[in-house]
Amino acid sequence: MEKRFKLWLMVLIVVSLIYLALTNRYGIYSVGQGVVIKHDKWTGKTQMSLGLQGFRNIEDYQEQK
């Protein structure tokens, strides 16, 4: 019985660590004026994207500008 408990505890810890690693991929650095700058911790790349602020797609956003 005790071996099963240790096994389940170890499985729970491993699953929790995998979940945390997968959900903590991006670091958000700047949000303002409809622009989001985020850093990918896995690849080391930084990318900038538009926050569409209620628009359905990028074309609608560009038409408003």
Closest CA to 49 of 28, 23, 25: 28
Q: 61 falls in which pLDDT band (50, 70, 90)?
A: low
What gap in Å lies between CA 53 and CA 65, rounded to an integer? 13
Whether residue 4 is predicted with pLDDT greater than 70 in this model: the reply is yes
Structure tokens at 54: 């209620």
pTM of the model: 0.44
Whether residue 52 is predicted with pLDDT greater than 60 in this model: the reply is no
∠ CA 54-25-28, nearest 5°, is 50
Q: pLDDT tens for residues 19-41?
A: 888 887 777 776 666 677 788 88
Residue keyed to tokens 């699953």: 15
Report yes or no: 42 and 26 within 8 Å, Cβ to Cβ: no
